[in-house]
Amino acid sequence: MTNELRRMPAEPRMFTAHVVRTRRLSPSFQRVTVAGPDLADFEYQGLDHWFRLFLPTLPGRPLRLPRVEGRSWWQPYLDIPEDVRPHCSNYTVAAVRHGAGVDDLTELDVDVVLHDDEAGELCGAVALWATTCGPGDPLALLDQGVLFDPPEDAGEVVLVGDETGMPGLRGIVRDLPAGTRGRVLVEVPRSEDVEEWAAPEGLDVVWLPRDGRAGRPGELALATLREGPAPRPDAYACVVGESALATGGRRWLVGEGLSKERIFFSGYYRVDAG
């Protein structure tokens, strides 16, 4: 069974919610806080817990959701007529606060990367939504569980991500046991996106702001990973973000002798996906 399936709920649940507020965390991240009675049952597992985000096709349109049976939802999703099919993308749970909202509602934060097209205009359906949505706007979340899944004998962790992996790496670093050793490489667009993380003493967190450096997201993190040190044979590695970072990172780690079973890698998006 692949890592994704091992820690994915057997019966993923769809949660409906609404936007409560948004705020700019830093130049490249917009935090959207959502809430709803449904979320009282959301069992947050921490780490890089993620979900499928469903948004109405257009603002003001009703949210039509696919039927979920067991782990199956994709075909019912495609069966929804295109003009009313919701937009669907993958996001990480940045935080959950049970009972913290108005009327004791559960609040959940999502940190959305703001990225531009070649003309310098903000682009991406979710980035546009995150900067324009308002209180009461509907959405839904399909719980997908946790991806980070180290073997019990892991002697160190090697965590690498670009800005889209940042919320997940933040959750992992927050939840790792105190004695964890290893290295975290976090690439972000700008120095102002760098955060202060409380990390286990033996975990070296290295921030890599691009600050206008040419190249696609993830290149800096990949180049830094390749500079070494090589992973220990008992390491567990997690490389996520732009597709070339994920595949290139895995290739380098395997070349340095780390077995494939000890590497989780995932291309979260492609810069040239169209």
Q: Which residues are near ligand FAD by CB under 6 A?
A: 50, 89-92, 111-113, 115, 123-127, 163-164, 167, 217, 266, 268-271, 273-274
Strand partners, 145: 50
Residue closer to ligand FAD by CB (options 125, 206) is 125
Compute CA distances 175 → 47, 146, 179, 239, 251, whole Å. 6, 12, 12, 18, 27
- Give whichever of 175 and 181 is closer to ligand FAD, judged by the CB atom: 175
Smallest gap from Cβ 174 to ligand FAD, in A, equals 14
Question: CA–CA separation, 249 vs 271, rounded Å?
Answer: 17
Of 6 and 99, the one with the shorter C-beta distance to ligand FAD is: 6
Under DSSP, is residue 246 helix (H, G, I), strand (E, B) or coil?
A: helix
For residue 224, the minimal CB distance to ligand FAD (Å) is 19
- Structure-block tokens of residue 214: 């040419």
CA angle 16, 137, 12 (to 5 degrees): 20
Secondary structure of residue 167 in the 3-state scheme: helix
In whole angstroms, give the CA distance from residue 55 to residue 52: 10
| Closest distance to ligand FAD from the beta carbon of 234 (Å) | 25
Which CB sits closer to ligand FAD, 243 or 256?
243
Least Å distance between CB 53 and ligand FAD?
A: 8
Nearest residue (CB) to ligand FAD, 118 versus 153 = 118
Instruction: Tell me the C-alpha distance between 188 and 173, whole Å.
Output: 16
CB of 91 to ligand FAD, least distance (A): 5
239 touches 249 (CB < 8 A)? yes
Closest CA to 139 of 150, 130, 151, 148: 130
- What's the closest the beta carbon of residue 200 comes to ligand FAD, in angstroms? 22
Nearer Cβ to ligand FAD (57/155): 57
